[in-house]
Structure 1
Amino acid sequence: MKRKGLSIILAFALMLLAACSNGEDKKEQATESGAESSLATKENGEVDYAFGKYEEPVTIHTVRETNAAIEFPKGDDMKNNIWTRAYKERFNINVVTDWVSDDYETKMNLAISSGKTPDIYRVNASQLQKLMEADMVMDLTEVFDKYASDRVKKYMGFDRASFESGMKDGKLYGIPQLHYGVIDQPDFVWIRNDWKEELGLQDPQTIDDIKNIALKFMEKHGGYGITLNKTLDTLKTLAVAWGAHPDIWVPGEDGKIVDGSTQPEMKDALATFAEWYKLGIIDPEFMVKDTAAMNANVIAGKVGVQPFYQWWGYSPGVDVVTKLGKNAIFYPYNIPSANGKKVIHSVSFLNGSYVVVNKKAKNPEAVIKLINFYAYMMDEGFSKESKETVAAFVNDGLEHAPQPFKITNPNTDYEQFVKVSEAMKTKDTSNFTATGQWQKYNNSVEFETKGTPTAVGDYLQQGAPRSAYSLAKPFIDNNQYIKNSLWGAQPMELAKYGSTLGDILTEGFTKIIMGKESIDYFDKLIKEWRKAGGDEVTEAVNKMYGNK
């Protein structure tokens, strides 16, 4: 009995020793493989995968893009700021930024080509396709399912198509950073207000009104009347007046998906633009100007009409108010119809970037935790953190500092505008439920009362009596817009030919506007576009998105 009892004791001891040894091995393996090294729990005792803090420090490497809109406090920068310190304090995650570039896309292309990419980084749709084809990024399906917060998963549910655009064969490789919603898509004609009031001009109701306002400004202040740069992007925003939808894919007359830039309505728009150029209304040097050069004359007070996007107030608006004063503000006006039909706005595929993880990264779940944290601070943080804490994370453009760890609620701006615009009328903020609502409201009040230049963006977007979103909302409510039929990942053919085809059209449109070619050249141009790959791309787009 004693021998048997001793054997049992020895066997039990060996089992314990093996278990302990195996546990240590597993712990070491878990740490090396990047598995969760902490078992932080929620109040109900469940493991908190979404927000749990690591017991041991975890280091992840990333890269970032320069953002001039962010005003960092003294001593802070893109690599070291309130967000990176919070990652360390709240999650024990050290985020190391290997480089910051003002030419991010080019530098990222070089990094991808060389195979020298960081642990976590942000890419565009074309780059994502290349990375998936080259098997350079990690399958995040299980990691996302386990670690993403309920709120982040809800965001993805709001725009399932964008979420699925980051997948290949049903597996998630790129986490969409999403967007601010359809309300930010309609474009406008921005008109300098003090000049308009000085001349007693009425709000534009027709395309001819826009032309005449520009001519009146030229007569009074000299120079030219309407801004444009070499990409033609801002002038293209006016094309919806003729029913044209350049730069998105739309159903053609036969139901087949076609490039909106190649349709007859675009020819009608170009005919008017050519007339304006001949009259001296369009900047005579547009063909050599980039966006910065185009905006420079707006900021210098040399031009008073600018077709532009809803974010005019952020850029060039801040610089306009800083240099010329509050009264020189430009206000948005709806683009009027040129043919008596309802204006239907163009809506591009809204998700422009994805977060990916290097296949060799040890802690893929870390990026999910930091994305969860961003969503928390921008929404739930309003009710769970002090106002001072929230303000420190979002004031002066700091909400854009996280970059690869950022995500947006697709319903944010619509919900925000409804509450902010009402509060601007009533001064009652009791219905606010998210951080961004306070931010937009406070900045709108700041500009309205003090004319603070850095607050003009939020004011013109949401808080002003004539704001961009106040004009956009009726179009959204009435479904007066058309979405890009290419709503998701691009076919490989578009990635192959896209830039070449775009250059062909831009060069041809420029010749027509400048009068170097007649408007009839449009038909020849489209034939050249088709031969250069346009037909092949169109076929691929229809194969991928037709009959959906």
Structure 2
Amino acid sequence: MRKPNRNKVKYLLAVLMLALILTACEQNMALDTNATDGNPISNEGVQSNDENSELSKYNPPIEVVLVRETSSDLEDVLTNFPGDTLEDNRWTRLYEDVLGIKIKYNWTAKGDLYQQKLGFALASGNIPDIVRVNAQQLRQLANEGLIQDLTDVYEQYAAPFTKDVLSQEGTGPFEAATIDGKLMAIPETAGSIEGSQFIWLRVDWLEKLGLQSPKTMDDLLAVSKAFTENDPDGNGKPDTYGLALTQYLWDPVMGLTDFMAGYEAYPNMWIKDDSGKLVYGAVQPEVKKALQVVQGMYADGQIDKEFAFKDGRKEKAMIAEGKIGIMYGEQWGSFIVQANYMNDPKAEWRPFPIVADSGLLPKVPLRFATSQFLAVRKEFEHPEAIVKLINLHLEKNWGVTAEYEKYYSTPYPVWQLSPFTPAPLMKNMEAYRQLKENRLTGDESVLHDEARAIKKNIDAYLTKNDVSGWGWERTYGPNGAFAILDNYEKNNQLMYESFVGVPTESIIEKQPILDTLKNKTFLNIILGRPIEEFDQFVEEWHRLGGNEMTTEVNQWYSEKGRNKE
């Protein structure tokens, strides 16, 4: 096996990034017409020796060697099935029974340790048969000739339903996996729309202080100040804060992404400027204004003084204790604030639309969400195995032969036991729309598996005061997060990232350094450094590689436009 040279090894290690898997709940779209041309996929009669079959079985069986990141959540799932392991569970048995594929893990690890081990494995060229990588790692492996071209494999083996599901985000995910005209990995497509955020507010505090829900950023700032200074919890102590914030400024809950969007600032996205060129949001003047506002809130005591030392878990504990009244976050933020409701049934949280400084409807920034790709080792004899595994996973969760309560939720999230977990990208919104139609018509037949399960949780809360359904109602109820997202979409407020291509050479080399500079500078400004340091940051960003990145990104954008002509 050819080993990477030292410089490429250095780049691989430099760009190692922690993969965030934010799946608070995997919702089911359960389409009735998943298969096309009247030929539904089925696990019946798949013993065919036809090598072109989407679910043909290997005889004799083959072994697929993987590595895997584990988590406490995954361990919790396994504890509910005594005797099962990562290599022997309902999903691995299904893959072996139907496809003749035995799953084996070379090693597993949690969090940072997993990323470190993966980084060393990639740098040394000692990669498993199929490996999940980020976009930078994908390009490095392709440049080193360590992975296979999957163009023909995908076209030949992907089921019609698989192609339909993986194309729901448009061509972007496949563009991001295509290098020099070759599909070098199967994108683990993720729905950018899932990044939509909301303002989660303690409405009981609003009512107690005689305040209205915010319609502008000035309104929001006034609410934050009141939550900090006017003793909303009534204990006579100055121990409450307005806005939740963690040390990672861009957390999908308790972060600043959509707070800044209220000032037309998009610090983590490539966006179009007035001339139609792509520019990086972090160096635009609107960010400076937003930072100055956050700096003032921190100085005024509206943000926890120790937020810079607290991760999401610690900040969530403050919310649970009833110390914070405002949180920006995605739809699953309901399950973060539910911790407060569990401690205090009088704590009434509700989601509201994000607001703008202008008072107009703000744009809701949606970063390109597909960040993980499944690449196949160059020497692996069965590259089509990854496509067959994806075919079967999608079919048994969302296809015409789906067995929801066996392979998806028991109600434990057993889908997590599968090494690969593709899903329809609009399934959450689809579940909400089914629930909305059911509420309007009373017709139970419109509900598919996931929507029925959600309705059961919501009904348990509404009729039996079962607190476990509280978060589900805040997310999927008539005034929940998805009702707001539905309006975002109808009002044309969703703003998708403009750059969705393969990371350029300068992005691979420079982006990690520039991101570190950005995060350090922004954090220091919030903590009290002079706001003029933002201008210095902009100069440094351009000098240290930002100019190169911008040139390359616009070259991609120009070529994309020509390709569409």
Q: Is the 8 A contact 2:175 2:500 kept in 1?
A: no
CA-to-aligned-CA distance 1:99-150 (integer Å, 9 cap, x gap): 3322233332222012222111211111111111111112222222222111
| Amino acid corresponding to residue 418 of structure 2 in structure 1 | P
Corresponding residue of 1:59: 63
Corresponding residue of 2:16: none
Query: For 2:55 and 2:64, how far apart are their aligned partners in 1?
Result: 17
For normalisation by structure 2, the TM-score amounts to: 0.81
1:224 aligns with 2:204: no
**Comparing 81-90 and 417-426, the one that deviates more:** 417-426
Q: Is the 8 A contact 1:41 1:47 kept in 2?
A: no
CA-to-aligned-CA distance 1:383-407 (integer Å, 9 cap, x gap): x3556435556x332223324x222
Query: For 1:447 and 1:488, how far apart are their aligned partners in 2?
Result: 44
Q: Is the 8 A contact 1:191 1:330 kept in 2?
A: yes
1:538 aligns with 2:550: yes
SS in 2 for 1:544: helix
1:422 aligns with 2:433: no
Q: Which of 352, 368, 371 is 2:387 aligned to?
A: 368
Q: How does 1:315-326 map to 2 (within 5 A)?
A: 316-317=336-337, 319-320=339-340, 323-324=342-343
Q: Which of 314, 338, 354 is 1:293 aligned to?
A: 314
Q: How does 1:91-106 map to 2 (within 5 A)?
A: 91-103=99-111, 104-106=114-116
CA shift, 1:354, in A, is 0.9
Corresponding residue of 2:185: 174
Unpaired runs of at least 5, structure 2: 1-43, 234-238
CA shift, 1:260, in A, is 0.7
Q: Is the 8 A contact 2:397 2:408 kept in 1?
A: no
Q: Which of 273, 277, 301 is 2:294 aligned to?
A: 273
Q: Is the 8 A contact 2:247 2:307 kept in 1?
A: yes
**Comparing 220-229 and 62-71, the one that deviates more:** 62-71
Q: Which of 82, 85, 89 is 1:81 aligned to?
A: 89
Q: Is the 8 A contact 2:488 2:494 kept in 1?
A: yes
Corresponding residue of 2:134: 124
Query: For 2:483 and 2:373, how far apart are their aligned partners in 1?
Result: 30
| Amino acid corresponding to residue 129 of structure 2 in structure 1 | D
Q: Which of 512, 516, 521 is 2:529 aligned to?
A: 516
| Amino acid corresponding to residue 166 of structure 1 in structure 2 | A
Q: Is the 8 A contact 1:84 1:95 kept in 2?
A: yes
For normalisation by structure 1, the TM-score amounts to: 0.83
CA distance 1:166–1:112, shift in 2 (3 Å): same
CA-to-aligned-CA distance 1:170-203 (integer Å, 9 cap, x gap): 2221101112352x23211112344444545422
**Comparing 507-516 and 281-290, the one that deviates more:** 507-516
Corresponding residue of 1:528: 540
For the pair shown, the structure with the greater C-alpha radius of gyration is 1
| Amino acid corresponding to residue 292 of structure 1 in structure 2 | R
Q: Is the 8 A contact 1:319 1:453 kept in 2?
A: no
CA shift, 1:156, in A, is 3.3
| Amino acid corresponding to residue 97 of structure 2 in structure 1 | E
Q: Which of 412, 424, 427 is 1:412 aligned to?
A: 427
Corresponding residue of 1:378: 397
**Comparing 416-425 and 143-152, the one that deviates more:** 416-425
CA-to-aligned-CA distance 1:383-439 (integer Å, 9 cap, x gap): x3556435556x332223324x22222333332321123324545331235x44344
Unpaired runs of at least 5, structure 1: 1-39
1:357 aligns with 2:365: no
Corresponding residue of 2:517: 504
Query: For 2:471 and 2:106, how far apart are their aligned partners in 1?
Result: 31
Query: For 2:466 and 2:133, how far apart are their aligned partners in 1?
Result: 34
| Amino acid corresponding to residue 521 of structure 1 in structure 2 | E
Query: For 1:239 and 1:546, how far apart are their aligned partners in 2?
Result: 29
| Amino acid corresponding to residue 278 of structure 2 in structure 1 | I
SS in 2 for 1:430: helix
1:204 aligns with 2:218: no
Corresponding residue of 2:446: 431
Query: For 1:43 and 1:364, how far apart are their aligned partners in 2?
Result: 19
CA distance 1:85–1:523, shift in 2 (3 Å): same
Query: For 1:97 and 1:541, how far apart are their aligned partners in 2?
Result: 37
CA distance 1:450–1:486, shift in 2 (3 Å): farther
Q: Which of 283, 290, 311 is 1:262 aligned to?
A: 283
Q: Is the 8 A contact 1:41 1:48 kept in 2?
A: no
Corresponding residue of 1:162: 173
Corresponding residue of 1:464: 477
CA distance 1:167–1:386, shift in 2 (3 Å): closer
Corresponding residue of 1:334: 353
Q: Is the 8 A contact 1:237 1:307 kept in 2?
A: yes
CA-to-aligned-CA distance 1:223-250 (integer Å, 9 cap, x gap): 3221112222112321111111110011
Query: For 1:84 and 1:201, how far apart are their aligned partners in 2?
Result: 54
CA shift, 1:363, in A, is 2.4
Query: For 1:283 and 1:387, how far apart are their aligned partners in 2?
Result: 43
Query: For 1:43 and 1:94, how far apart are their aligned partners in 2?
Result: 16
Corresponding residue of 1:30: none
| Amino acid corresponding to residue 90 of structure 1 in structure 2 | V
Equivalent pairs: percent with the same residue? Answer: 28
Q: Is the 8 A contact 1:379 1:436 kept in 2?
A: no
Q: Is the 8 A contact 2:396 2:404 kept in 1?
A: no
CA distance 1:125–1:228, shift in 2 (3 Å): same
Corresponding residue of 2:10: none
Corresponding residue of 2:159: 149
1:309 aligns with 2:330: yes
